Structure 1
Amino acid sequence: MSGRLLRWICTGAVVGTLVTTGPPAHAAPAPEERPVTQLLTDLQQLYRSAEEASETYNATEEKLKKQRARVKALDDALAKARGAVRDGRGDAGRFARQQYQGTTELSPYVRLLLARDPQRALDQGHVLGRVAAGRAATVERLAGGEKKADGLARAARTALAAQTALAARQKKQRDKADGQLREVEELLSSLSVDQLAALRQAEEAGTAEAQEKFLASGALGGSPATRPPSRQGDKALDYAVRQIGRPYKWGAEGPKAFDCSGLTQRAWAHAGREIPRTSQEQWAELRRIPLSRLRPGDLVVYFPEATHVAMYLGDGRVVHAPRPGSRVKVSPIAANPVLGAVRPDPGGRAVSGYTPPKLPEGATSGSDLGYDRAQVAGATDSR
């Protein structure tokens, strides 16, 4: 792939060039004063920022899950260690009482000197020696157990502090994403029906143009013809297609709602392959493949920061959970600026006799930017 094509894929836009810098220092004009193309660009930028914040939240959520598991494991180990220490202290106390009460009687050396049968005394001495060794071992275990319990207690306190810090960070990230989504809602709520219709037309025209350029570039190998998927890829795609129509909700992993990476992760988990939770982790950790070798079930990652992900359907289309206010749907692969593609099962062999899944009615309908204000109003509910 040429450097020019790669730059276009990474930084191309649905309508014109996406604005990648922050807003200008002067106050932005009111929605009614902005041209439709500018409104669309502003809306895209708001969604992109919100999605980046939500993916950061998801990454922290995954860290928090692991940290909770670590705290629980340490707590369980600490409880066992403390139980062993209690038992050891009980044994040590019993030995101390026996020593005080004189139940061990004479030392084995005195027994040997006074015994009429030296061999029997020696035998008894061995027994007493073993008992003494057992007591010494018990004391040693008690000391080691107390040391282990102290270490586990310190580790548990440290792990709990890390969990608390992660939870606080996650709350800030959730609040940031909620605030950005409220900005989207406020912008959409300020638009008239005519403006929303004009936005829809501009988006559709821009997507069609971007798709035409993308296919003409040869990025898909000169033809968007569908290659057969792997067995797992076929199963993952079937799951994703069956979710068409379910609402987008940021941070959601199904089964009633999804965000973009929640859908791809759940679909591949259904196929028996665990993949990372966020789009950025999926891009970083899964095997990257050329766009020209895409097959159904592969994941297409978008934007330079890898903040959106979709599943390749074939024929130049993807299944994805687009944005808050929208629903899982089928879109052209170039509906967003493509960064690249990854394959969750690089060793999977292509199936023979593949039949693409049947799409439900209305699978391609609806805006990728979610113009239904009734849906958008519910999209900002915090988790």
Structure 2
Amino acid sequence: MRKLLFLLLFAILCAKIEAQEERGTTYIELSPIFNLAKGAPTGIQMTLGSGKYLSERFYLGGGLGVLTTTKFKDYSIPVYARGKLLFYENDIMNIHARMDLGYNIPTKGGLDKGLIRIAPAVGVDYGNIYASIGYMRLEGVKKEIKGGDAITLSIGTYISSEGMHKVASGLGRFFARTHLTVEAGYGIGLTTTHLSDISTGYGPEDLSKKEGSNITVRLAWTYRINNQWSAGIGAGLDMQEYYDNFTYLGDRQYGFDDEKDSEEHVTAFARVKYNVLKTRFTPFIMCDLGYDIADASDNNGFVCEPTVGVSLRTGEYQSLNLGLSYRTNTVGGSSGDSGSTTWNDQRDISTLNLRLGYTF
């Protein structure tokens, strides 16, 4: 029910935006909310609103948005009506007073767990930008629901229908130049173990190198700067298999075994790609630079993966891509204590991957 109400209100606002005259009566607003109760968290509210000037000085409209705390743990959807009166105008600025009356729809629980909101404010309009300071009272629908008081600071911008069309046109041109790439790959990795004996200051020493494997899946969203350069962001999943080949035998003696270990890494990265030629078939150079989030928290770290390959264009901007990449990342190993000896080890995993992808 709450989702349907939200979608309905959003649709009404969008329709209202289309119907505005050139004078900016649609607005986007950001408001930090400082709760007056001791120890209460600061709130952040983002709203989109629209309305109509019923006269030269009186505006009536409404808005909806998202309200959360600075810790981004709890969310609600504020829905309100707004009345605004311009009580001073000149060629440079306007001074206004306004009143918002509405309801905070909770994202958890029913509508009867929400809060009624009353929010008067005074502000200054300077061109299409405005700022205001106000007071907000939140009152529970039921007696057992605790309300509160807050001071609000708001900054926003008015957007005319002409401005909205320009924004929509600009976004359309932007998205027309963006492309999704899906990739899958398989690689052979080399595991290098480094040992440090903390109690004696020994190491780190390179003790062994053994092969492992890597299966990777990638999604990248890139913007086509021109026919040769593109840049964007992406995310992927790497399933690495490596050798957990270091064992402390005691009395500062170290041994090795052939037991394999495995780990999943979620990688977020930025990507830059360069097509060497402008022809249908072209070599390319690419680099992904990002951060690994492993299933063990102490194994997180930065990752760099340069790639060279070839692309075959199958449409105007679609292409089939085959590349060879080199990936390096560090995996935190084991540590322990034995008598007077304290040791730890770390593994660097370097992987050569064959990657097949398609750009839509």
More strand by share: 2
Q: TM-score, normalised by structure 2?
A: 0.24
More helix by share: 1
| Structure ID, larger Rg | 1
Q: TM-score, normalised by structure 1?
A: 0.23
Which structure has the higher relative contact order (CA within 8 Å, separation 6+)?
A: 1
